[in-house]
Structure 1
Amino acid sequence: MIICGAGPAVHADQLVAEAHKRQWDVHVITTPVGRDFVDVEVLEKMTGHPVRSDYHRPGHAGGRSLPEAAAIVVAPATYNTINKWALGVSDNYALGILAEALALGTPIAVLPFMNAALSAHPAYLRNVELLRGEGVCVLQGDGHGPEPHPPGAGGQLLPSFPWGLALDAVETAH
């Protein structure tokens, strides 16, 4: 599970709980900003694994601390993370994991949370199509998932963020 810095991230425990109901072993990675949105202690207690948001120093005890992922959910996914990932930018741990997973063919579902103005930006639209062309399931609009919200209205949608859609998508692809 990769969590970005968007409003629904404060309820990321809901995705972990739903994944556990489906018998998934969940490891949480956050973007640097996403870490500020989550309760790290709660997520670590729920998963039994550390929440990662940074690379380990070479030679760090335990080496690569994450097993190879069977599937990845990116939720809530932000405009910034989606655009950087599509362009091949790997300037943080979460983006590095996503770059590798794309190349490895790992099933990935992305559940964006952004306003309609950002989601209509031409670069974003191109990048979503690029990721979809690579097999990533981007769950937004056009029957793929929830529609973007009007600018300034995102807070009203936090309780109804459809976490389960992303799990459904990776289970179907898996």
Structure 2
Amino acid sequence: MTRTRTLYLIGCAAPPLDRIDTGVRLAREAGWEVCVLLTPAAREWVGDPWELEARAGCPVRWEYGGEEDPLPAPDALLAAPLTVNSLAKWACAMCDNRALLALTEGLGRGLPVVALPYFNDALAAHPAVGRHAAFLRDAGARVLLGEGGFVPHRPRQDDVAAYPWQAAVDALPAPHGGRPGAPH
């Protein structure tokens, strides 16, 4: 019997968060059990976390849990949307919230970690952003920033509908083994 593998979908406070259920749906269709973790700022963006929990089929978390937390351990992590703020904190191992703790521990444990950023090209042009993305890539994360992932937009000219959720899910390993992007 094959065990269902668990994906932590980590959402930050950016406009594509309004469509996180697209990421949940695509990951579930690919065979993942999906648990949603939100940064505290992202929690403020989500109207009813219990509605999202019902769609995900797994508890939604944004605060640190106790010893009896019902979330299964992750087999992979997907940070989408990932803000420039969370990218910087993660690269510096700043675990001031549950979502960043999961990303930092996941990378440290050698789990597959995919990040799909969302920010404008003015933020992307800051020298630290490229260094943080490169650092995380060198540490083993797949940061989908640029062609084939998320291409930063001009300030106030974003297109949330074009956010490449499918590219992020395709970058994950197959939930029952195999290579990233392999047919599920």
Alignment equivalent of 1:50, drawn from 56, 59, 81: 59
Query: Residue 62 of structure 2 aligns to which amino acid in structure 1?
Result: S
Query: Residue 6 of structure 1 aligns to which amino acid in structure 2?
Result: A
Contact 1:139 1:146 in 2 (8 A): yes
2-structure distance, mates of 1:23, 1:17: 10
Alpha-carbon distance, 1:7 to partner:
0.3
List per-residue Cα deviations over 1:138-163 (Å, max 9, x = no partner).
0011x341310001112xx1112110
Alpha-carbon distance, 1:36 to partner:
2.0
Alignment equivalent of 2:102, drawn from 83, 97, 102: 97
Higher relative helix content: 1
List per-residue Cα deviations over 1:64-111 (Å, max 9, x = no partner).
332221111100000000000001101011111111101001101100
Alignment equivalent of 2:88, drawn from 64, 83, 86: 83
Alpha-carbon distance, 1:127 to partner:
0.6
Contact 1:138 1:144 in 2 (8 A): no
Contact 2:121 2:152 in 1 (8 A): yes
Count of residue pairs the alignment pairs up: 167
CA RMSD of aligned residues (A): 1.5
Contact 1:81 1:95 in 2 (8 A): yes
Counterpart position of 2:171: 169
2-structure distance, mates of 1:98, 1:65: 18
2-structure distance, mates of 1:173, 1:90: 27
2-structure distance, mates of 1:10, 1:86: 25
Contact 2:113 2:142 in 1 (8 A): yes
- Residue ranges of structure 2 left out of the alignment (5+ in a row): 1-8, 174-178
How is 1:136-147 mapped onto 2 (pairs within 5 angstroms)?
136-141=141-146, 143-147=147-151
Contact 1:7 1:158 in 2 (8 A): yes
- Residue ranges of structure 1 left out of the alignment (5+ in a row): none
User: Secondary structure, in 3 states, of the residue corresponding to 2:137?
Assistant: helix
| Alignment of 1:123 onto 2:125 | no
TM-score by length of 2: 0.86
% same residue:
40
Alpha-carbon distance, 1:5 to partner:
0.2
Alpha-carbon distance, 1:37 to partner:
2.1
User: Secondary structure, in 3 states, of the residue corresponding to 2:81?
Assistant: strand
Query: Residue 132 of structure 1 aligns to which amino acid in structure 2?
Result: R
1-structure distance, mates of 2:84, 2:123: 7
Counterpart position of 2:5: none
Higher relative strand content: 2
1-structure distance, mates of 2:65, 2:140: 29
